[in-house]
Structure 1
Amino acid sequence: MFGNPGYGGGSYPGFGAPTQTPIGPEVQQWFQAVDRDHSGQINWEELQSALVNGQGENFSSQACKLMIGMFDVDKSGTIGINEFQLLYNYINQWLTVFKNYDSNRSGSIEEQELNLAFQQMGFRFSSDFIKFLISRSDLKNHQLISVDQFIVLCVQIQRLTEAFRVRDKEMKGVINIAFEDFLTVAINCTTG
């Protein structure tokens, strides 16, 4: 933790640099199952068809596009098995955090649980900011976050945190940013 409110610094899921490990048989099996067209690459649609949230629905297209985008180094819109391994590891880490706070196993977490999850990741967000995140994610009732919505938030916060850190050279938790630079950061961090 850097000691500044809201500025995460832990090495928790999605907020550290991913590391490449040898491809395990379980990951190879999952990759082959997800790669429906047997192209050796997975796109967001294939990923979406393989992921189901706690409500029995497929992950949102936004979540899948953002997850593919995290590891799509060549910007082809697809990932190969090595990138899939990294994504697989991230998803499992995010699921572990999510499940730790989904105490009633409903497939969703509430405001206080979301706040605790972010605290575990090293972020100290205000109650108003947590409410804002939920209202932007849960368009139905503004109270609950599903696992895919949680992953979208984690990806977006990770991307924005990385962009912020590049500009926060003195690690003060405050930056000055030109308008066009801000727009560049915002657009790059919120699109797949």
Structure 2
Amino acid sequence: MFVTGTMQPPGYGGGHRGYQGPPPGADPQLWSWFSTVDTDRSGAITAVELERALVNGDWTPFDLDTVKLLMTIFDTDRSGTIGFNEDWQNVFKHFDRDRSGSIDGGELRDALGQFGYNLSPPLLDLVQRKYASTVASRGGPPPGISFDRFVRACVVVKQLSEAFGKLDTDRDGWIQINYDQFMQTVLSLP
């Protein structure tokens, strides 16, 4: 759901199984996520692979039909799969509904909600404050969350949600841990 596109690094995809590392300029954390989801190491994510990687706010798996619908949004070449390179830029453009070049609070809420993360208003505000620029760069987008910071915010929300899910063994949305457990969980995130 986060990724889409047709451009692939040399020796990656196109019938070549397996790959060596992120393409030049790729965010290592995003590459790690992509590589984890691409379980058959084909260089593209299928609907079934994406379904296995996504969960709802209550930790239930995404419905396959919903995943297929999301794939149609981001599968710009209509190959039935989503690749690595164009991916996040298309996701960013999709949610940057006002075409400002940055993601505002409402757009962030919509993006995270569509990804299955229904954060409370105070948490959304915190994420926005943490990742948004407060001043426009010269000739750049207006204040808000830039493309690279949007990717980072999505990856961090996903990682923290997964870490919480591992501790929430009874799936009730509550965990009881001590400080050391909390720190070990957060500091062990990639």
TM-score with structure 2 setting the length = 0.57
The equivalences for 1:38-57 within 5 A come to 41-43=20-22, 46-48=24-26
CA distance in structure 2 between the aligned counterparts of 1:100 and 1:186, rounded to whole angstroms? 30
The equivalences for 1:107-122 within 5 A come to 107-122=101-116
The equivalences for 1:133-148 within 5 A come to 133-141=127-135, 143-148=143-148
* SS in structure 2 at match of 1:116: helix
CA distance in structure 1 between the aligned counterparts of 2:25 and 2:124, rounded to whole angstroms? 28
Q: Deviations over 1:32-79 (max 9, x none)?
A: 189xxxxx52347x134xxxxxxxxxxxxxxx1321333567xxxxxx
CA distance in structure 2 between the aligned counterparts of 1:163 and 1:43, rounded to whole angstroms? 24
Which residue is 2:117 aligned to? 123
Q: Sort the Cα spacing of 1:71 and 1:90 in 2 relative to 1 into closer, same or farther, 3 A.
A: closer
* SS in structure 2 at match of 1:32: coil
Which residue is 1:100 aligned to? 94
Q: Shift of the alpha carbon at 1:83?
A: 7.5
Q: Sort the Cα spacing of 1:120 and 1:173 in 2 relative to 1 into closer, same or farther, 3 A.
A: same
% same residue: 25
Q: Shift of the alpha carbon at 1:156?
A: 1.2
Q: Sort the Cα spacing of 1:106 and 1:139 in 2 relative to 1 into closer, same or farther, 3 A.
A: closer
Q: Shift of the alpha carbon at 1:99?
A: 2.5
Amino acid at match of 1:32: P
Structure 1, unmatched stretches of 5+, are 1-12, 15-25, 35-39, 49-63, 74-80
| Residues 108, 147 of structure 1: 8 Å contact kept | yes
Which residue is 2:186 aligned to? 186
Which residue is 2:8 aligned to? 30
CA distance in structure 2 between the aligned counterparts of 1:107 and 1:33, rounded to whole angstroms? 32
Amino acid at match of 1:163: A
Whichever structure has more helix as a proportion of its residues is 1
CA distance in structure 2 between the aligned counterparts of 1:151 and 1:160, rounded to whole angstroms? 14
1:70 aligned to 33, 44, 50, which one? 33
Residue correspondences, number:
140
CA distance in structure 2 between the aligned counterparts of 1:136 and 1:32, rounded to whole angstroms? 35
Q: Which has the higher contact order (CA 8 A, sep 6+)?
A: 1
Whichever structure has more strand as a proportion of its residues is 1
Structure 2, unmatched stretches of 5+, are 13-18, 51-81, 137-142
| Residues 94, 151 of structure 1: 8 Å contact kept | yes
Which residue is 1:149 aligned to? 149
